[in-house]
Copies of this chain bind each other. A is one copy, B any other.
């Protein structure tokens, strides 16, 4: 019998307890041994939960219990989650987590600490919820050099953008609908401003290129400025609009960014709708490969947490296990965002004189579309686009990059 402790009995934490209980026969069949929750740490009590008797308010009940060999941290937030994780690893307990904030901020240090203590730190559930992505990147793509990763990493914003495009509704109306349905939080900032996606793309960039960037230091644009007009221009261009976490190497340095993107319908990411997530990995031998599924939710996310627990149990007592390795990025590891190249959609006021100016500057014919003057640039750097906009002297109504 393997004893597990759960830190944080919220949505995902209670889901993990349920998965371990409801699927115990599958898990036992796969492992040849049973796994059970012994303790649950939470500030609250849960008298009506079947797991209520396992709850403790004292972390030391878990830390000092030699029978608990695996701790599943699903508290959210950096502190005390990080501190508890560190203490568990130092005490020789393996830790699994769904907490992208801790992985994005402290993942390199915690992986190193786990290795030093002969235990493991796994975080499949931190990106893409239940979708297998971390382990496939570490194991299945080990024969490949990663070229780029593009991911729809946040279900809330994908739901909002899908509705805006399908129904032509405004951002504010759809956000309210998403909040009513429980798809968006009352304070939706971390989702709609892109921070949640930034943490996830930083984790995927670390797996791809070995350097863990600070999510606060990458280019991060949310979806709050996307308008119904943008949605209708996108449709006219044969594109979908998605909030994309993107990472690639630019001149040997790591670029990671989050921004809304115009995605041609032929791209498999264009079909990833509603609250689903999709992660498209381009690798030098494999080519493009997409992982698709439920990027959030109680049981899907918990199923990834439990997959990590099973992985640890399956390899217990072995001196060598496969683990992701990355280090904290130094200043020199960050690519210069202004050198990032792509095609960009720019919208201006629909006035005849603007047409000539834009054609001269960008060498492309502007289109009158949906009450706006819309141009699509050739592939050019951020710096070039900035400079041309400055030269034009015009106010940009909207600027959305193509993927």
A292 and B318 within 8 A (CB): no
A140 and B292 within 8 A (CB): no
Q: Which residues of B contact A139 (CB under 8 A)?
A: 132, 135, 139, 307, 310-311
For residue A298, which residue of chain B has the nearest CB? B285
The listed residue (B30, B124, B131, B288) touching A294 by CB distance below 8 A is B288
The listed residue (B135, B143, B292) touching A292 by CB distance below 8 A is B292
A285 and B19 within 8 A (CB): yes
A268 and B287 within 8 A (CB): no
Q: Which residues of B contact A294 (CB under 8 A)?
A: 286-289
For residue A143, which residue of chain B has the nearest CB? B306
The listed residue (B268, B286, B311) touching A271 by CB distance below 8 A is B268
DSSP majority for the A interface?
mixed
A132 and B140 within 8 A (CB): yes
Tell me, rounded to whole Å, the shortest Cβ–Cβ distance linking A124 to chain B.
Answer: 7
Q: Which residues of B contact A130 (CB under 8 A)?
A: 285-287, 289
* Cα of A124 to Cα of B284 in the assembled complex, Å: 18
Q: Which residues of B contact A288 (CB under 8 A)?
A: 293-294
Tell me, rounded to whole Å, the shortest Cβ–Cβ distance linking A13 to chain B.
Answer: 15
Encode A287-310 as 1/0 by CB contact (under 8 A) with B: 111111110010110111011011
* A268, A317, A320: most-surrounded residue (chain B CB, <10 A): A268
* A142, A297, A300: most-surrounded residue (chain B CB, <10 A): A142
The listed residue (B131, B143, B287, B297) touching A307 by CB distance below 8 A is B143
* Cα of A303 to Cα of B146 in the assembled complex, Å: 12
The size of the chain A interface, using a CB distance under 8 A, is 53
A132 and B143 within 8 A (CB): no
Contact A23 to B145, CB < 8 A, known contacts A135-B140, A268-B271, A285-B303 = yes
Within 8 A of B (CB), among A301-330: 302-304, 306-307, 309-311, 314-315, 317-320, 322
Q: Report if A250 contacts B (CB, 8 A).
A: no
The listed residue (B142, B286, B293, B303) touching A293 by CB distance below 8 A is B286
* Cα of A3 to Cα of B69 in the assembled complex, Å: 37
B271 and A307 within 8 A (CB): no
Q: Which residues of B contact A286 (CB under 8 A)?
A: 130, 293-294, 299-300, 303-304
Q: Report if A249 contacts B (CB, 8 A).
A: no
For residue A280, which residue of chain B has the nearest CB? B292
* Cα of A292 to Cα of B293 in the assembled complex, Å: 11
Q: Report if A237 contacts B (CB, 8 A).
A: no
Tell me, rounded to whole Å, the shortest Cβ–Cβ distance linking A186 to chain B.
Answer: 26
B142 and A310 within 8 A (CB): yes
B132 and A307 within 8 A (CB): no
The listed residue (B27, B131, B320) touching A289 by CB distance below 8 A is B131
* Cα of A361 to Cα of B142 in the assembled complex, Å: 57
Tell me, rounded to whole Å, the shortest Cβ–Cβ distance linking A291 to chain B.
Answer: 6
Q: Which residues of B contact A289 (CB under 8 A)?
A: 130-132, 291-294
The listed residue (B271, B287, B300, B306) touching A287 by CB distance below 8 A is B300
For residue A297, which residue of chain B has the nearest CB? B287
Q: Report if A2 contacts B (CB, 8 A).
A: no
Encode A256-287 as 1/0 by CB contact (under 8 A) with B: 00000000000010011000000000011111
Q: Report if A392 contacts B (CB, 8 A).
A: no
A141 and B145 within 8 A (CB): no
* A interface residues with partner B (beta carbon < 8 Å): 19, 22-23, 26-27, 30-31, 124, 130-132, 135-136, 139-145, 268, 271-272, 283-294, 297, 299-300, 302-304, 306-307, 309-311, 314-315, 317-320, 322
Q: Can you list 5 contacts pairing A with B, beta carbon distance less than 8 Å?
A: A135-B139, A140-B307, A143-B306, A283-B303, A315-B320
- Known interface pairs A30-B142, A143-B310, A289-B292; 10 further A-B residue pairs with C-beta atoms within 8 A, sorted by A's residue number: A22-B285, A23-B285, A132-B136, A132-B140, A135-B135, A136-B136, A142-B310, A283-B303, A285-B306, A315-B320
